[in-house]
Amino acid sequence: MICPTTLIPFHESEVRALVQSRPGEVRVGQVVGVLGTRAGPDSWQQAHRAGARYALLGIPEDLGPRGNLGRPGAEGAWDAFLPIFLNQQANHFLPARQVLLAGRVQTRDLQEAARGLGSEPRDVLQLRDLCARLDARVAPIVQEIVASGLIPVVIGGGHNNAFPILQGVVAGLRVRGEERKNGLAVVNCDPHADFRALEGRHSGNGFSYAQKAGLLASYFVLGLHEGFNSQEMLDRLVAFGGRYVTYESVFVRQELDFGQALEQATSHVLASTCPVGLEVDLDALAGMPSSAQTPNGLSCEEAARFLHHLAHRVPVAWLHLAEGAPALAPEGGARQVGKALAFLVSTFLKAC
């Protein structure tokens, strides 16, 4: 059962405070479910019985990116996302009544412990230890969400959280009687494979840790940047059986089009016959404030097309959006990241 200090659920009064009501309109925040003050198996299951299908969970942290020698700022994505998502119109396009606003993982103490840590080896070791402590908080929350029959929609935070999400989904399915001895499948829209060495937990090795733990049955990376993945990591990925399509092969050399790349990803994970997690690292989007922001990448529309295509075609087990860092673009960064995240989540909910 979740330790009561590791999940901070929303109160209905907090949600109302974020919603800008207007006569004659109904906003998403006025119809979503709210977990309330008591988070436990019964409350998740009650929400599911009442019609909830998705649980929105925030992880406001940047421990993983900093432990990977990346830039800070990913702790702000959840707060940027929430008011924009909740103030969308609740109309027939979006199944807002199927959404449960679960809350956010308690990260304040870990973030405070990381204050002042830099890139010195001793500091990096501390950041990676804090990241491992965060893993231990995220996994049980995801487990209870999945065990109740809900689909987690997780807003990070760094991509390090992919590992405890996989842990939690596997454990939650086991509670439901769906043993996944060979693990799960993942399609990751990301310029980086995140298959780095097992050198302590950080945002660059979530999937290699998952593979080592037997949680990863099938893995496909879409939009990988050729100049920012080491040969050693690519060799490890391919030796495992993972596959990828690079950004350059689609958008520069035009060896295949984006639709063909989506089909390759779909076919690869469908062959595993496993539930599939969809991952989008906002580093993949051109010009998006993120830990590894890049001028060349997918458009927000292409990332949405990725989610729409996969959610229609595969048995989706979760959605995870990572690495948005509003503070890295102080002029309008929160709105840019928040609107992108709200658009991607809404696209997924409509398609799933």
Share of the chain above pLDDT 70, in %: 97
Q: Is residue 131 classed as helix, strand or coil in its secondary structure?
A: helix
> Looking at the predicted structure, is the pLDDT value of residue 11 above 90?
no
> Looking at the predicted structure, is the pLDDT value of residue 37 above 70?
no
Alpha-carbon distance 350 to 345, whole Å?
9
The DSSP annotation for 37-99 comes to: S--SHHHHHHHHHTT--EEEEE----HHHHHTT--S-GGGHHHHHHHHHHTSB--TTS-GGGE
Residue 38: what pLDDT?
Answer: 61
Contact 160, 206 (CB under 8 A): yes
Q: Is the peptide bond before 157 cis (omega within 30 degrees of 0)?
A: yes
At a CB cut-off of 8 Å and minimum separation 6, what does 227 contact? Answer: none
Q: Is residue 104 classed as helix, strand or coil in its secondary structure?
A: strand
pLDDT in tens, 38-85: 666 688 899 999 999 999 999 999 999 999 999 999 999 999 999 999
The DSSP annotation for 277-315 comes to: EEEEEGGGBTT--BTT--SSSB-HHHHHHHHHHHHHHS-
pLDDT in tens, 93-121: 999 999 999 999 999 999 999 999 999 99
Q: What's the chain's length in residues?
A: 352
At a CB cut-off of 8 Å and minimum separation 6, what does 177 contact? Answer: none
Alpha-carbon distance 10 to 335, whole Å?
22
In this structure, the dihedral spanned by the alpha carbons of residues 229, 234, 240 and 243, taken in order and rounded to 10 degrees, is 80
pLDDT in tens, 247-299: 999 999 999 999 999 999 999 999 999 999 999 999 999 999 999 999 999 99
Residue 321: what pLDDT?
Answer: 98
Chosen CATH of 7-351 out of 1.20.120.1780, 3.40.50.720, 1.20.120.330, 3.40.800.10 = 3.40.800.10
pLDDT in tens, 206-247: 999 999 999 999 999 999 999 999 999 999 999 999 999 999
Q: Is residue 206 classed as helix, strand or coil in its secondary structure?
A: helix
Task: Say which DSSP state 4 is in.
Answer: T
pLDDT in tens, 140-196: 999 999 999 999 999 999 999 999 999 999 999 999 999 888 899 999 999 999 999
Contact 311, 352 (CB under 8 A): yes
Tokens standing for residue 9:
């659920």
